[in-house]
Amino acid sequence: MKRNKKDRQVLLTDMIETNPFITDEELADKLEVSIQTIRLDRLELSIPELRERIKTMAEKKMTDDIKSLPVDEIIGEIIDIEMDRSAISLLDIRREHVFKRNGIARGHHLFAQANSLAVAVTNDELALTAKANIQFTQPVHEGDRVIAKARVMDVDKEKGRSQVAVRSYVGTSLVFKGEFNMYRATTMKKDEWT
């Protein structure tokens, strides 16, 4: 059954409010129209594309939850975080991240994404990396999207420490893994910092 534009746009708005992660393709299937029609409707209704909706939701959650560092100091885009439990971030590898001669990503960018994710997931006023055991398992190239997943393995608030495991993937391929031993600074005395 073909709907008129007004009815279709009302349904589209309701579907996106119900599930902000719904793709244009899924909307097109459900509303039985082309993807281009969905994009035009979103544009007319000032509804951002999926990536922008996810980014906006993540930024709001990060602003509300993350205490250990300012959001603009995080390397990559955090798309999901549950403090002292888990977090996920994305990093699109661009020209400035790679060696010019071979297009392979410089390791410090992958480390920075993983390390800042380990800091961000630590639910404390200040988190510092005490020790990291890392391994690069496969080269990453310009144009790749790196998805880093952090999981808090242990929290010892008495000792002021956390253990965070981070695994980074391009598609389903593991490209980086790290174990981060984090200081939880609210329990540290100033002389322990030096």
Tokens of 158: 């008495």
How far is the C-alpha of 21 from the C-alpha of 11, rounded, in Å?
A: 15
The dihedrals phi and psi of 56, each to the nearest 5 degrees, come to -65, -45
* Per-residue pLDDT band at 85 (split at 50, 70, 90): very high
The residue extents of the domains of the chain are 5-47, 64-192
Q: Report the pLDDT value the prediction gives residue 8, as an integer from 0 to 100.
A: 92
Q: Is the CATH code 1.10.10.10 the one for domain 5-47?
A: yes
Let me know: does 126 contact 155? Beta carbons within 8 Å: no
Same fold flag, 5-47 and 64-192 = no
- CATH architecture label of 64-192: Roll (3.10)
Per-residue pLDDT tens over the stretch 17-53: 887 778 889 899 999 999 999 999 999 988 888 777 7
How far is the C-alpha of 141 from the C-alpha of 102, rounded, in Å?
A: 9
Farthest-apart Cα atoms in the chain, separation = 72
Structure pTM?
0.66
Burial 4-42 (b: 16+ CB within 10 A, else e): eeeebbeebeeebeeeeebebeebbeebebeeebbeebb
